[in-house]
Structure 1
């Protein structure tokens, strides 16, 4: 069973400074990869990080402050919770 590499059917082109090009080529050589492979993987990794950061839950300052206020309140006793925590576990080793 062979796993063929995905078809590379799109192209990106961009300009870099000579210093950037030299650094990219050196890093690719250190990892034993082509400049294309090194660059594409670095760009995709960064793209995923940006997308993940954008999709994380965001809370405005007012709601976050309200959340912190609730979290800072002293714990209160909940009916039946102490009994529940003292029962023998239904899970066995």
Structure 2
């Protein structure tokens, strides 16, 4: 009798309001994805973010020393950042009818 391969996928079922399904379907269509692929990707990304927020960062002693050295060294201006910070914010530029 041949052995069947063990299935690696695990089903996940949710009950969602029709409005939630509609917005998920619209977003999935905009990305050219199926509802399942879109929801799976979004759920995995959210889970990874939580993990990154809560798990400690581990590195070698050499890596930590290099990190501390980079933080302890003198600040170096990044010309593109300096230019952006010198520009007035859109709401400070005047003109336009927004908010008037």
Length-normalised TM-score, structure 1 = 0.50
What SS does the corresponding residue of 1:50 show, helix, strand or coil?
helix
Q: CA RMSD of the aligned region, Å? A: 1.6
Larger radius of gyration: 1
Tell me, which stretches of 5 or more residues in structure 2 are unaligned? 1-6, 58-100
Q: Residue in 1 aligned with 2:25? A: 25
Q: Which runs of 4 or more aligned residues in structure 1 lie more than 4 Å from their structure 2 counterparts after TM superposition?
A: none
Length-normalised TM-score, structure 2 = 0.47
What SS does the corresponding residue of 1:37 show, helix, strand or coil?
helix
Shift of 1:56: 4.0
Where does 1:42-81 land on structure 2 (aligned, <5 Å)?
A: 42-56=42-56
Alpha-carbon distance in structure 1 between the residues aligned to 2:29 and 2:8 = 22
Tell me, which stretches of 5 or more residues in structure 1 are unaligned? 1-6, 58-93
